Amino acid sequence: QSVLTQPPSASGTPGQRVTISCSGSSSNIGRNDVYWYQQLPGMAPKLLIYDNNRRPSGVPDRFSGSKSGTSASLAISGLRSEDEADYYCAAWDDSLSGSGVFGGGTRLTVL
């Protein structure tokens, strides 16, 4: 059971816009930045979005992030076949002595 809640799956056709949600609480998303990772099959995760809505260099501007209250979203516009992957949200959680926490992951299928 992951601390952050994501839908297990999402899908879209090429060119469409897809959003993936990430729900948390006041101890994590409500007070800390959200990060998004893309994991291609058989590979390590790769940072996609940091500080809620910022893209590392090299990440296409088709990817965008947002945060409001205790929830966050990742949007992918102009969907491409190579976007088919697992997507994870992450945030620091201040409960107990603190810990990094992740969502359970969303598998994106490009139809």
Which residues contact another protein by CB under 8 A? 2, 32-33, 35, 37, 43-47, 50-51, 56, 88, 90-92, 96-105
Q: Output 85 or 101, the one with its CB closest to another protein.
A: 101
Q: Output 15 or 100, the one with its CB closest to another protein.
A: 100
CB of 20 to another protein, least distance (A): 14
CA terminus-to-terminus distance, the chain: 28
| Sole residue written with tokens 């997507």 | 87
Is residue 65 within 8 A of residue 36, CB to CB? The reply is yes
Is residue 6 within 8 A of residue 91, CB to CB? The reply is no
Say how far apart CA 59 and CA 78 lie, in whole Å.
14
CB of 15 to another protein, least distance (A): 29
Q: Output 56 or 60, the one with its CB closest to another protein.
A: 56
